[in-house]
Structure 1
Amino acid sequence: MNYETQLLGDSAMVMGEDDTRRSRKRLMIGGGIAIALVAVAAWISMRGAEPAAAPPPAAQVPVVTVTSPGQSTVARTVSATGSLAARVDMPVGVAGEGGMVTRVLVQPGDWVRAGQVLATVERSVQTEQVRSLAAQVEVARADAKLAQAQLDRAKALVGRGFISAADIDQRTATRDQAEARVRVAAAQLAEQRARTGRLDIRAPAAGLVLTRTVEPGQIVQAGSGVLFRMAKDGEMEMQAQVAEADLATLRPGNGATVTPIGSQARFAGRVWQVSPVVDPQARLGIARIAVPYNPAIRPGGFASATITSGSGSAPLLPESAVQSDAKGSYVYIVNGKGQVERRDVTVGQVSDAGVAVTSGITGTEKIVTSAGAFLAPGQKVKPEPLKAG
C-alpha cells in the first residue's frame, strides 16, 4: 500500500510540474503576442502621422512648336537639265575651189574678228591668172584710147567734107566696143581676184574658235566639210530640256541660273527662245538659255538650270514641318481642342527660305514645325509659338 501511495504521490508531483511549465509557456506566448500587437499599433499610428502619398502622375502632354506663316511672295521656278552649246554655232569650211593648205593661223580658244584669215591655201596658179587678166585689161584700155582718138580726128574733118557722117558713126561704134572690152576685161580680173581671195579661209564673223580639223599640207576642197567651228561673239547657251507642263509657263526673258556639272560656279542667264514643239516620245521641249562667255561654259558639256517662271503668294514653311508618306506630303495642324490633325498639302518650290505650299493650307492654321514624325492624329498637344529668328 505504501508503495502505491508513494507512486501516486510522485505522479501528482510530475503532473504539477507539467502544468507549471504549460502555464509559463502560455504566458510567454501571450506576452509575445501582446508585444507584437503593441508594435503593430505603434507602426500604424506612425504611418497615420505621415502625409498621404501623391497619386500617380497623369500622362505628360507633349509641347510642340507651331507657326502660322501666312502668305509670302514666292518665285515660281522650273528645274531642268540639258547640254551647253554655242548660241550661234558657225561651221567654217572651204568657200573657194580649194587646194593645199599652206598655213593655219589660229588655235581653238582664240578670239578672232570678222574676216580674219584662219588658214591659207596655195595660190601660185591663181596669181599668174590674175597677172594675165590684168595685162588684158591694159590692152583693152589701149584699144579704147586709140578708138577715142580716131573718133576725135574724124569729127574735126567732118566739117570740111573729108569724112562722111557714116564714118563718124562707124568710128563711134568702134570706140564704144573698145570701152566695153575694157569693162569686160576689168570684170574678169575682179572675178579672178575674188576667186583667189576665197582661197583664204576666213572667219565669217567675230567670235571664239571652238575646234580646228585642218593642218598644213592637207588638200581641201568645197566638199571637205567643216575645218573650224566658231561661237559667234563668244555667246553660249544651255539647251534645257523642260517637261511639257512646265514649258507652257516659260517665256523669252525669264531669268535663269545655270550650273555646269562638275563646277560649283553659277551663271546668270536668260531664256531667249522657247521651243514651239515638244518631243512626242519624251514629252520634253527645249528652252534655250543665253549665258555670257566663261571658260567654265564648255560647249558639249552638261548643266542644270533653275528658271524663274514668275511669282505668286503661298505659305512658306520650314522643311521640318512637311512630312511625307505613301499617300503624299502632309503637315500636322493643332485644332481648337489642342489636338493634332493631319492635313494633306501640295509642295511647290523648295528654296533656302523654306518650302512653298501651293494647296492644302491657307497659312492661318497653327502648323507643327517639328517632331511631326512622333505625333499621331488626334493626339493632345500643348502648342508653343515659334520664336522669330
Structure 2
Amino acid sequence: MRRSSRFVLPAVLAVIGLALVLWLTTRPAAPTASARPGVPVRVVSVAERDVPRFTTAIGSVLSLHSVEIRPQVEGVLTQVLVKEGQWVKTGDLLATLDDRAIRASLEQARAQLGQSQAQLQVAGVDLKRYKLLSTDNGVSRQTLDQQQALYNQLQATVKGNQAAIANAQVQLSYTQIRSPVTGRVGIRNVDEGNFLRVADTQGLFSVTQIDPIAVEFALPQQMLPTLQGLLRAPVPAVVQAYLDADGQSTLLAEGHLTLIDNQVSATTGTVRVKAEFANAQARLWPGQLVTVRLRTAVDNNALVVPPPVVQRGIDGHFVYRLDGDTVTSIPVKVLHQDSGLSIIAGVKAGDRLILDGQSRLRPGARVEVTPDAPPGTDVAEHGSQP
C-alpha cells in the first residue's frame, strides 16, 4: 500500500504539470497598446480654386420705364386697339378718340390761312406800286407807310393762321394714342364709348417696360467704398437675383451694378443701389421681391475647405492634418468664411484634413479613416449659397 502511493503521487504531479504547460501555451495573448483601434474620422482634401465673395440683400424689381396712358385732349374713346397683357413697341397705336371737332377746327384754320394769304398778296402788289409812285411824288409818304404797315399786319396774320393750323394738327395727333415705350400693356380701366377728360385721375392703362429691368436694394453705408470701387472697375460687378420659395433659392437672372444713390439714408444708415438685368424671358417682374447677391471680390487660387474642418483653440484656429495613420495639429488663418466654405492659409492644396471626429483627437493620435463622406463637402465644385 505504501509502495502504490509512492508511485501515484509523482504521476498526479506530472499530469498537473502537463495541464499547466498546455494552458500556458494555448491561452490568448494579452492585447498590447499598439493593437488598440484608431479613432474613426472622415477626411477631406484641401481644394485650390477661385472663390467669388458675395454680399446679400433683399431687393425690389423695378421697371426702367413705366407709363400711365392718359388722354391729352377731351373726347369719346372710340377704339382700343390692344388687349390686356399684350406686348407693344414704341409708336404702336393703342387707342383712338373722336376727332371730328378737331378736324373741323383744322379745316377752319386752313381756310383762314388762305384768306390771309390772298389779302397779303393784294397788299404786296399795292405796296410795290406805291413804292414806284413815291419816287416821283405820285403818292404821299403817309400813304406808302400805311400800305407798308398793312402788308406787315397781314404777314403776321398769315403766321398766326399757320400756328393755328400747327396747333390743330397737334391736337389731332392726340386723338391717336401711341405707345411711348416698348413693354407690356396692363389692365384696362376704361372701355370704349366713355368720354375722356384730361383732368381724369384714372388713365386708360399702363405700359411697362420688362426687358431690360432693374432691381433696387439697400446696403450698409460701410460698403460705400467697396461699391464705389466696383463702379469704377472696367468690368461691371456681377449681381444675381434669386427667388426664395419652399426653402430653396432659384436663380432668376444675372445682371450688373449700375448706380449708387447720391446720398445715404440718415434714418437707416444704408445706401440705395440699383442693378440692371436682361429679362428676355420675363423671369423678373415689376414689384417682385428677390434676394440679391452682389459679387464684391474674387479670391484667386484660394485654399478652400468645408467650415467644420476649422477648429478654434486657445491660441486661435487650427486643423488636424492626416499624416499616415496619425494626425497633426496645424495652426491656420481664416481669411473668409460663410455657410458653405472657409478660405484658410497655413496648409497646402491636396492636404487631407479631418472633417469629422475632432472632439476625440489630440496631436499624434492614431485614426481610422471611414470611407463615407457627408453630403455637401465637395467644395471644389460647389460654392456658398445665398
Q: TM-score range by the shorter chain?
A: 0.7 to 0.9
Per-residue displacement from partner, 1:200-236 (whole Å, max 9, x unpaired)? 33323x4113424333223333332444433458321
CA contact (8 A) 1:334 1:383 kept: no
Which residue is 2:284 aligned to?
297
Aligned counterparts of 1:210 and 1:163: Cα–Cα separation in 2: 70
Structure 2 counterpart of 1:371, from 356, 367, 386: 356
Which residue is 1:357 aligned to?
343
Displacement of 1:350 in angstroms is 6.0
Identify if the C-alpha distance between structure 1 residues 29 and 85 changes in structure 2 by more than 3 Å, giving closer, same or farther.
Answer: farther
Aligned length: 353
Select between 366-375 and 173-182 the one with higher mean Cα deviation: 366-375
Superposition TM-score, scaled by structure 2 size: 0.73
2:290 partner SS: strand
Displacement of 1:270 in angstroms is 0.6
- Where do 1:188-337 residues align within 5 Å? 188-204=164-180, 206-212=181-187, 213-223=189-199, 224-232=201-209, 234-246=211-223, 248-250=225-227, 251-252=230-231, 253-261=236-244, 264=250, 266-279=252-265, 283-293=269-279, 294-312=281-299, 315-319=302-306, 321-322=308-309, 332-334=319-321
Displacement of 1:370 in angstroms is 2.2
Aligned counterparts of 1:367 and 1:66: Cα–Cα separation in 2: 6
AA of the residue aligned to 2:239: A
Aligned counterparts of 2:116 and 2:210: Cα–Cα separation in 1: 46
CA contact (8 A) 1:340 1:381 kept: no
CA contact (8 A) 1:99 1:219 kept: yes
Per-residue displacement from partner, 1:333-364 (whole Å, max 9, x unpaired)? 2499945578784643566xxx2326xx4335
AA of the residue aligned to 1:98: E
Aligned counterparts of 1:283 and 1:379: Cα–Cα separation in 2: 51
Select between 342-351 and 152-161 the one with higher mean Cα deviation: 342-351
Identity of aligned residues (%): 17
Which residue is 1:21 aligned to?
none
Structure 2 counterpart of 1:94, from 48, 64, 70: 70
Displacement of 1:195 in angstroms is 2.4
Which residue is 2:138 aligned to?
162
- Where do 1:378-389 residues align within 5 Å? 380-381=365-366
Aligned counterparts of 2:217 and 2:126: Cα–Cα separation in 1: 76
Identify if the C-alpha distance between structure 1 residues 186 and 338 changes in structure 2 by more than 3 Å, giving closer, same or farther.
Answer: closer
Displacement of 1:147 in angstroms is 0.9
Unmatched tracts of structure 2, length 5 or more: 372-377, 381-386
1:333 partner SS: strand
Per-residue displacement from partner, 1:136-169 (whole Å, max 9, x unpaired)? 1111111111111222333344456432333222
Identify if the C-alpha distance between structure 1 residues 320 and 163 changes in structure 2 by more than 3 Å, giving closer, same or farther.
Answer: closer
CA contact (8 A) 1:91 1:227 kept: no
AA of the residue aligned to 1:368: L
Aligned counterparts of 1:173 and 1:341: Cα–Cα separation in 2: 104
Aligned counterparts of 1:174 and 1:296: Cα–Cα separation in 2: 68
Aligned counterparts of 1:161 and 1:45: Cα–Cα separation in 2: 169
Aligned counterparts of 2:334 and 2:273: Cα–Cα separation in 1: 30
Larger radius of gyration: 1
Aligned counterparts of 1:72 and 1:126: Cα–Cα separation in 2: 71
Unmatched tracts of structure 1, length 5 or more: 1-23
Identify if the C-alpha distance between structure 1 residues 268 and 45 changes in structure 2 by more than 3 Å, giving closer, same or farther.
Answer: closer
Q: Which has more strand, going by share of residues?
A: 2
Asked if 1:44 corresponds to 2:20, the answer is yes
CA contact (8 A) 2:239 2:294 kept: yes
Aligned counterparts of 2:257 and 2:362: Cα–Cα separation in 1: 46
1:309 partner SS: strand
Aligned counterparts of 1:124 and 1:257: Cα–Cα separation in 2: 53
Superposition TM-score, scaled by structure 1 size: 0.73
CA contact (8 A) 2:61 2:285 kept: yes
CA contact (8 A) 2:306 2:342 kept: no
Aligned counterparts of 2:267 and 2:360: Cα–Cα separation in 1: 44
